[in-house]
Amino acid sequence: MTNAIGLDISTWQDSPAIPGHINFDKARLAGASFVFIKASQGVWSDPDFEMNWSAAKAAGLLRGAYHYMDWSKPPLQQAQYFAGLLALDPGELPPVCDYECRTGAPSSGAARLVLRAFLEETKRLTGKTPMIYTSPGYWCEYGSADGYWAQYPLWIAHYGVAVPLIPRPWTCCTFWQSTAKGNGYLYGVESRDVDLDEFSGDEAALRAFAGLSDQPDLPTTRWDVAITAWARQLGYAGPDPGDDNEGDG
């Protein structure tokens, strides 16, 4: 079984010096099945969020939105802002709290209270159990082994290892951010590097995790149409069921 792979992006992957934007079709062709997209931080939204959100959907990628939680605003206010951005189109994957900010961080106990309030409010407003994104080192400092946290799926960031370190209380991770040095060109972003992620199962398992059917509903591109026409011409594919002339004469 080959685990599904994906990427995570924000406005930093869209260079203002380069015309155009992220090419999610290219990411899909490179093998990506999903993408996590930064939606917000504090109470402001990523300037590319709406554009990235719709473009990733059009490319057939499963989408998850993440909120970078900082310490500038109360947690309920941050959760309400985040959930508001997802009200009309929540995406296919759970919403994510990016729990890694050290600038202005309070004590570990106070930070955990903020995280808990954010997660519970996000769950109440979206109807989805959010995920926690963090690193082993950050969780060691600002998290805890309390079993309460295990109800939230873990997306762990751990680079340069064959297997990520899983902090307690989790026993496994749902997603693993394995590198920040992915080939940006290969995956259609405008930055040299891009974060790459791995799901703990294949694409069918990923779709099941998202509550979707086993068969992906991929968009039809001009490339697909050209290949299908070529295959029919050589007799490798059946007739187009939409061809009204089929069977005539």
Which residues are known catalytic residues?
Answer: 8, 98, 100
- Beta strand residue intervals within 26-98, DSSP E: 32-41, 44-45, 62-68, 96-98
**φ, ψ at 163 (rounded to 5°):** -135, 130
Cα–Cα distance between 50 and 47 in angstroms, integer? 8
Is the bond into 75 cis (omega within 30 degrees of 0)? no
3-state secondary structure of 143: coil
3-state helix, strand, coil in the chain (%, to 5): 30, 20, 45
